[in-house]
Structure 1
Amino acid sequence: MVKSEGERINDFLARYGWSMQQTGSGLRYLIYHTGNGKNADTGNIAILNYTLTLLNGDTIYTSEKNGKKEFLIGKGGVESGLEEGILLLKEGDKAKFIIPSHLAFGLPGDGNKIPSKATLVYDLELIQLK
């Protein structure tokens, strides 16, 4: 029997014992360190340290290898689930996001390392907002 993406995410959460909140869109998030900076807002440039993995544990991209991720919030240049999650944070926060495929790269993947219909797991730190 093929499991749905939601079932695979629930299995992943149970395996790691993570208790995450879920938004209406399906993004799961856990803020595990609270910073003391300003709140993220549309129009800010977000700068992140991150590790991006798949549910199977394969590491796809990291700031250590690929450089910090920097993007304008609200412009749509990154996964919609990442933008949604960043808007829940403030500078200095560390968080984990589980981004279902419909909020990530969907059917096509990213054309490089992220496969079709992949659920993404971000472990990140919002290091700066400009």
Structure 2
Amino acid sequence: MVKRFILFSSFFGLLFSCEDKAKELPPEPEWSVEHSTKMNEQFTREDEINIRLYLSRRENWEMKSTGSGLRYWIYEDKEGPTAEAGDKVDVKFEIKMLNDSLLYKTEDKELSTFKVDKSDIETGVMEGIKYLSEGDKAKLIIPSHIGHGLLGDFKKIPPLQVLVVDLELVKIY
């Protein structure tokens, strides 16, 4: 019993003898919507510079631009109905970075199937595919903000990467 009392009183003695210091936390970073906006504007400017440099070496590409920053060139135009939101499509594709490093490619007899605007495909691809008719082949240049953005895809596409997509719209359902 005496041993328990000594052990118990020693524990409380230690507990109450420690100074009551609050842990100092690092200061909160000063961040605002304005900081985010400026950062995004900088990323967009850098993407634009890199895209222009890339296209300066491909003068025969007849690119059109959209308000989002997407560039597209339909180099095989089959003229027919275009893909619309909700359509199911089969495509073949090849995705590269601006340095021509291959990231993804459908195999020769493979197709990728998805619903337009109803899947997790890049926003830039969804926008671009709506300019295509069944059988069209196109080049898309997708700035990072309508591609995989700040995070990449956690597999092969690094963060803040402009993508060059060679896309064939094989079938619209």
3-state SS in 2 of match to 1:30: strand
Q: Which runs of 5+ in 1 are unaligned?
A: none
- Higher RCO (C-alpha under 8 Å, 6+ residues apart): 1
Number of equivalenced pairs: 128
1:36-64 deviations in Å (ceiling 9; x for gaps): 44211111011111111000100000011
Q: Identity, % of aligned pairs?
A: 42
Which has more strand, going by share of residues? 1
TM-score after normalising by structure 2: 0.70
Per the alignment, residue 45 of structure 1 pairs with: 88
Which has more helix, going by share of residues? 2
Counterparts of 1:36 and 1:92, CA distance in 2:
8
| Matched-pair contact (CA < 8 Å) for 1:13–1:19 | no
3-state SS in 1 of match to 2:161: coil
Matches within 5 A, 1:1-130: 4-17=46-59, 18-64=61-107, 67-130=110-173
Larger radius of gyration: 2
1:66-106 deviations in Å (ceiling 9; x for gaps): x4221111214210000000001110110000000000100
| Matched-pair contact (CA < 8 Å) for 1:101–1:120 | yes
Give every structure 1 segment of 4 or more consecutive aligned residues whose post-TM-superposition deviation is greater than 6 Å.
Answer: none
Q: Which runs of 5+ in 2 are unaligned?
A: 1-44
